[in-house]
């Protein structure tokens, strides 16, 4: 499968890693939009634009747990952070592998950009 995030998970493409467990890998975004910009990715290839299945709920829950740990590690748990996940054309989703953007380190402003 020609998926950049699958290749990062298999270490075929380098990444600056922040966190890893059985379900999840997290690394810094190559084009950061905030002082802290981490991508949190399930190790299983799931495309949110194709919908989730019940057996993926455990994986999805673990993304949130990982996000909290990463926010603490990056020093933004107290100051606050935003999780964004894109799905489908109007969202601007570039990579067809589920991921959270964890953004923080400054006031992030309005919810939707232009």
Are 8 and 55 within 8 A, CB to CB? no
Are 19 and 70 within 8 A, CB to CB? yes
Instruction: Specify the DSSP element, H or E, that contains 4.
Output: helix 4-9
* Residues contacting residue 114 through CB under 8 Å, at least 6 positions apart: none
Smaller CB distance to ligand 5GP: residue 4 or 83? 4
In the stretch 25-54, what mask flags binding to ligand 5GP with x, by CB under 6 A?
A: --xxxxx-------x---------------
Answer yes or no: 97 catalytic.
Answer: no
Residues β-bridged to residue 27: 17, 39
Residue 13 sits in the site that holds ligand 5GP (CB under 6 A): yes
Stretch that binds Zn ion, among 2-10, 25-33, 62-70, 84-92 (CB under 5 A): 2-10
Q: For the segment 72-101, give every residue that binds ligand 5GP (CB under 6 A).
A: 86, 92-95
Residue 70 sits in the site that holds ligand 5GP (CB under 6 A): no
């Amino acid at each position: 499968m020609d998926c950049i995030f699958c290749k990062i998970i298999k270490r075929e493409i380098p990444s600056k890693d922040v966190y890893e467990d059985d379900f999840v890998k997290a690394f810094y975004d190559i084009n950061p939009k905030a002082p802290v910009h981490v991508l949190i990715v399930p190790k299983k290839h799931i495309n949110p634009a194709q919908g989730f299945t019940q057996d993926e709920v455990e994986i999805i829950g673990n993304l949130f747990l990982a996000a909290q740990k990463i926010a603490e590690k990056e020093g933004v748990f107290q100051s606050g952070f935003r999780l964004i996940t894109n799905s489908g054309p109007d969202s601007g989703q570039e990579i067809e592998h589920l991921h959270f953007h964890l953004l923080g380190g400054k006031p992030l402003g309005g919810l939707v950009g232009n």
